[in-house]
Structure 1
Amino acid sequence: MFHRFIRIWEFVGHSLWFTPLLYAIGGAVLSLLAIRLPGEDIIASLPDFWPRFETVETVQDLTSTLLATLVTMTTFALSVTMVVLTLAAGSLGPRTIRNFMGDPKTQNALGSFVGTILFLITGLVLMGGQTDDGAVPQIAAMTGIALFVVSLFVLILFVHHLGRSIVADHVIQKVGANLEETISSSLETLSGPIDNAATESCTLPDAGANTSDRTITAAKSGYVQGIDYDDLLEVAIKHNIRVALTVRAGQHVIAGDIIGEIGKDENNGTKPSDTGPSDTEPTDTRPDAIHDAIAQQIMIGSQRTAMLDIEFALRQLVEVALRALSPGINDPFTAIAVIHRLGRALPQAMDFHYPMGLWRDDQGQERICAHLSDFGGMMNAAFNQIRQSASAKPDVLLPMAEVLESLTGLAKHPKHLEILREHARLIGRAAARDIADATDRKAVERAVNRVLRQQQAKDDYSVS
């Protein structure tokens, strides 16, 4: 359920309509309260220079003027937002747009405009039913003026914020912070199962070889946005089964693809814990309700989710680097900034030291064995495409080798050293193949050799 909530929250949190909707409701409610508040005593206690309104018609005229001006301001703000989104999509990549749309400052700024507009509209509607000899809504008028002034300053801050938000370094730092948050939150729920799988024999079925009705198939086509392992564990306990999943968050599946297998419990077969067939009944005859219950925990959609898919969060940074390295832009400094930001985030990914996770029930019985992202896959997602695009650029390959050298000193498992060594070799081969100048080529080779020597020294120390 928690993973499903994250999926919904990411959809809502990265939209430009949800926060303004809340502001709009708040503006309408505030207008209802302000119209009905008795303002004569409050206004009388204010200094003489404080503005006062004699008739309802005067307040209506002022509110209409403020409303027209504010609508123009909001139109301008939306136009500026669309321009920024267009520039960001062209220079930084279309997948970075979600970060602009999910920016709380942008959402709150647009929300303040919409909320003030709804306040003024609601006030006009309510004042339209008042007679000329009725009470003048002094509080509503003053509140409308105050909200308009606040919106004016918010517009200035909003334009300033948008101007900063399109700077590549700002985007890189923000996307990198989101990546680190995604890695940290994933580790909170997956570190235990990863350790279990690393110490126990956790095997996955061959998806192409198994065609029995014990197989789990994709309910629809799309990306696996997330898997609710906690609820899936409850399903496995309820039906007394063992579930093996060969897919992970971020993979693309086609409806009908084999994505896992349901196995029998070693002690009790596949019958439910309370009722069901005998222990000797084969697992091929389980009810379709089990399939449906499992399918509900595998969330499949048309696009990937950064909050549940670490490699997708990595690729958002990689896309910025690839755009910068394209011939039309040719901005190696942005690519170098991305490489350094990836180097800051990847040490946390080292805790994903095994490509599978193992979940047990309270009695210690194995219930779920699932494929997960590991450090090797994250390194491939982070560096492969950048290396391929910058194979002839020593100014980009050198920082990559330096980041590998730093990661080597932080490696927590022997397998990490081999992964880092392989990436260093790939950088060395790319330099030997595509860098024409001998001096530049040797500089990259020296950086690669530093990584290999440092790793070899670690291996020798471990052996001793």
Structure 2
Amino acid sequence: MKKLLFFWNELKASFWFIPVLLIFFSIALSVGMVYVDSLIQIDQKGILRFFFVQNLDSARSILTTISGAMIGVAGTVFSVTLVALTLASSQFGPRLIKNFMYIRLNQVVLGAYISTYLYCLLVLNSIKDQQDYTFIPSLAILMAILATVVNIILLIVFIHQIAISIQADKVVSDISDFIAIQVKTLFPEKMGNEPDNPEALDIKKILVSYPKTFLIESPKSGYLQYADSENLMGIISQEDLVLELNNRPGSYLVEGKELGKIYSKEELKENTLRKIHDQFVIGKTKTAQQDLEYSIHQMVEIAARALSPGVNDPYTAISCIDNLSSTLSYLADVKFPSQYRFDQDQNLRIIADTLDFEGVMDAAFNQIRQFSIGSPAVIIRLMEALITIHFFAKRKPQQEVIVKHAEMILRMSRETIKEKNDLNDLEERAAKILNEKKE
């Protein structure tokens, strides 16, 4: 079920899905409105005569005008969207394009104009002028006029949204919001139960009772996008196996590369191996659904581009650091899942390749630190971010990782910052972390 949810989320991110749905809706609506018009005889007297079309020429003229205008504006909307995607790609990086495709308004606006155009064509085709029969779908034409009014409002909202969506602060804020939702979904990760005392586990002793080993090879080259943890645990438990995973979502796999190992007490059935293979999704691109590092790298890429000599925009880089510090402050006090996952009977079933706090910190700050050489303001803000994260870190391993990053920033700064006052400012901030270490 979760695998279907993964494909559903990926489908919603495509730029064609919502427009296609709206096109099918417009076809159904046109048929339905024409059918209602054929059943109802509207008395066009009084104020109603100002809203309903009463002659064939007017009906054809209105529908032709609307359909022509809608397809013209649809082309304009498509062009504006492509320009926005081009600007976003050059300014923030090509990996950010998918984030813009996720924006539902862009999909709805494009679909609304195309579907209105198609609706008008279908209603126009239903108008009949014969010797013994005349049919004017007045209600359907009124619906086309109302749809046009809505589309005009949508165009205004769309232009406003495009103008906002390519602003650096808005892009960074949207990614940060997505990461905040993602970390609360992924931590703690749900894949079976955790051991009470993982340090006391004797893994070799457990695996001795599973003498047969089978390799799980990648069926094709690409990125591991998704692993259905619940179904995987169910299959492994039912077949009394132990699965050791050597990769996690976001890892690149070459066809035939070892994805993991299965430890079994007897020969493994081909059907069982196939079912285990089916719980993994491998694709050509990375996705953010189970890969926290991918979302963090998007933010890092914006900061790295902002710090490049051709752009030289330290304020955008500082904004990225501020938003990353919020995410890492949350993760600093979160219990990361153990790599050892047990079933309900407390039997070891999965040895996972898990993400730890040090890996997240490295993904977030290593490249920004490396690109920040020559920008004291960014380096100082990096240290201030570490101070904030250190405040929320209650566990010693997390604190040691933060201290390590503070020491790396300090060593780099002593070699690159020439201004003594800037270096003193940095050392004063670093002392808030490093002095606590000495104590």
Query: So what's the TM-score if we normalise by structure 2?
Result: 0.91
In the other structure, the counterpart of 1:372 is 354
| Aligned positions of 1:15-54 closer than 5 A | 15-38=14-37, 42=42, 44=44, 47=47, 50-54=50-54
Summarize the Cα distance change of 1:417–1:48 in structure 2 as closer, same or farther, 3 Å threshold.
closer
Give the partner amino acid of 1:70.
M
Report Cα offsets for 1:4-26 as digits up to 9, x if no partner. Answer: 23431232121111011111111
> Structure 2 CA distance, aligned partners of 1:307 and 1:9?
12
In the other structure, the counterpart of 1:334 is 316
In the other structure, the counterpart of 1:451 is 433
| Aligned positions of 1:150-189 closer than 5 A | 150-187=150-187, 189=189
| Aligned positions of 1:220-235 closer than 5 A | 220-235=220-235
Report Cα offsets for 1:48-107 as digits up to 9, x if no partner. Answer: 661442333431222011100111111111111000000000001111111111101212
> Structure 1 CA distance, aligned partners of 2:86 and 2:437?
45
Q: What secondary structure, in the 3-state scheme, does the structure 2 residue paired with 1:79 have?
A: helix
In the other structure, the counterpart of 1:126 is 126
Report Cα offsets for 1:128-184 as digits up to 9, x if no partner. Answer: 697783232110111111111111121111011100000000000101111111111
Asked whether 1:149 is paired with 2:131, we answer no
In the other structure, the counterpart of 1:253 is 253
Q: For the Cα contact (< 8 Å) 2:173–2:323, is it kept in 1?
A: yes
Q: Give 1:345's match in structure 2, choosing from 311, 327, 330.
A: 327
| Aligned positions of 1:387-426 closer than 5 A | 387-426=369-408
Give the partner amino acid of 2:26.
G
Moved more, 445-454 or 168-177: 445-454
Q: For the Cα contact (< 8 Å) 1:353–1:374, is it kept in 2?
A: no
Asked whether 1:357 is paired with 2:345, we answer no
Q: What secondary structure, in the 3-state scheme, does the structure 2 residue paired with 1:371 have?
A: coil
Identity of aligned residues (%): 28
Moved more, 344-353 or 225-234: 344-353
In the other structure, the counterpart of 2:243 is 243
> Structure 1 CA distance, aligned partners of 2:252 and 2:58?
62
RMSD: 2.4
Q: For the Cα contact (< 8 Å) 1:109–1:158, is it kept in 2?
A: yes
Q: For the Cα contact (< 8 Å) 1:204–1:369, is it kept in 2?
A: no
Q: For the Cα contact (< 8 Å) 1:356–1:371, is it kept in 2?
A: no
Number of aligned residue pairs: 432
> Structure 2 CA distance, aligned partners of 1:192 and 1:290?
19
> Structure 2 CA distance, aligned partners of 1:5 and 1:429?
48
Q: 1:319 deviation in Å? A: 0.8
Which segments of 5 or more consecutive residues in structure 1 lack a partner in the other structure?
206-211, 265-269, 271-282
> Structure 2 CA distance, aligned partners of 1:333 and 1:305?
28
Query: So what's the TM-score if we normalise by structure 1?
Result: 0.87
Q: 1:380 deviation in Å? A: 0.6
Q: For the Cα contact (< 8 Å) 1:217–1:259, is it kept in 2?
A: yes
> Structure 2 CA distance, aligned partners of 1:108 and 1:357?
42
In the other structure, the counterpart of 1:85 is 85
Q: 1:191 deviation in Å? A: 8.2
> Structure 1 CA distance, aligned partners of 2:107 and 2:417?
46
> Structure 2 CA distance, aligned partners of 1:17 and 1:150?
21
Q: What secondary structure, in the 3-state scheme, does the structure 2 residue paired with 1:119 have?
A: helix
> Structure 1 CA distance, aligned partners of 2:108 and 2:259?
41
Q: What secondary structure, in the 3-state scheme, does the structure 2 residue paired with 1:368 have?
A: strand
Summarize the Cα distance change of 1:337–1:134 in structure 2 as closer, same or farther, 3 Å threshold.
same
> Structure 2 CA distance, aligned partners of 1:48 and 1:162?
39
